[in-house]
Structure 1
Amino acid sequence: MPAAPLPQNEIEDRLSDLPGWTLEGDRIACTYRLPSHFAAAGLTVHVAQIQDELDHHSDLTLGYNTVALSVNSHDAGGKVTEKDITLATRVAAVAPGHGAK
């Protein structure tokens, strides 16, 4: 059964609890700045682990000292769903442990 898209006002309300996460069109996104490339790579691996646990994957980009994510749900027509909010919440919880700002 496909996930149901969330209304825009609910997405915005939920993102207010997730610093750095924004609604960009039909996706939610965040870019984390880290103290080093090694720290950014570590966060990327941690995010990949979370995505596998959730069986829900974002577009994930590793830069020199940045990690950028953007996500929506393909099974909901490319809209934001509860699965996307759950992924963002899990990432937001682990990012500070890698020194992310």
Structure 2
Amino acid sequence: MPIEPLTPKDVEERLRELPGWSLDDGSLTRSYRLGSHIAAAAFTLHIAQIQDDLDHHSDLTLGYDSVALSVRTHAADGAITDRDFALATRVEAIAPAHDVR
């Protein structure tokens, strides 16, 4: 069964529920600042575990004290789908435990 893309209106409405996330060049994106490089690396690892749990992987960039995500569903020709919002929501849920800024 194919994965259905969300409509632009659906994406806009759902983004309202995820402060800090935005639509950039066709992907859901978010950057986080953390207190140190080790904290950023730990957050990256936790995100990678969530991606494996969901079998949905984003572009994930580790900086010195930052982590950036860019999410879209390649199986839906790069469109935004429910899977992207599920990943973003899970990442938001763990962010406070990593003391993101």
Q: Distance in 1 between matches of 2:58 and 2:65?
A: 19
CA drift of 1:17 comes to 1.2
TM-score by length of structure 2 reads 0.96
Counterpart of 2:20 in structure 1 is: 20
Q: Distance in 1 between matches of 2:49 and 2:65?
A: 19
Counterpart of 2:71 in structure 1 is: 71
TM-score by length of structure 1 reads 0.96
Identity of aligned residues (%): 56
Q: Distance in 2 between matches of 1:51 and 1:32?
A: 17
RMSD: 0.8
Q: Which structure 2 segments of 5+ residues have no match?
A: none
Q: Which structure 1 segments of 5+ residues have no match?
A: none
Counterpart of 1:61 in structure 2 is: 61
Q: Which runs of 4+ in 1 moved over 3 A?
A: none
1:2 alignment partner, SS class: coil
1:46 alignment partner, SS class: helix
Q: Deviations over 1:6-56 (max 9, x none)?
A: 011111111111121001121100000111111101100000000000000
> Partner amino acid for 1:86?
A
- Tell me the matched-pair count: 101
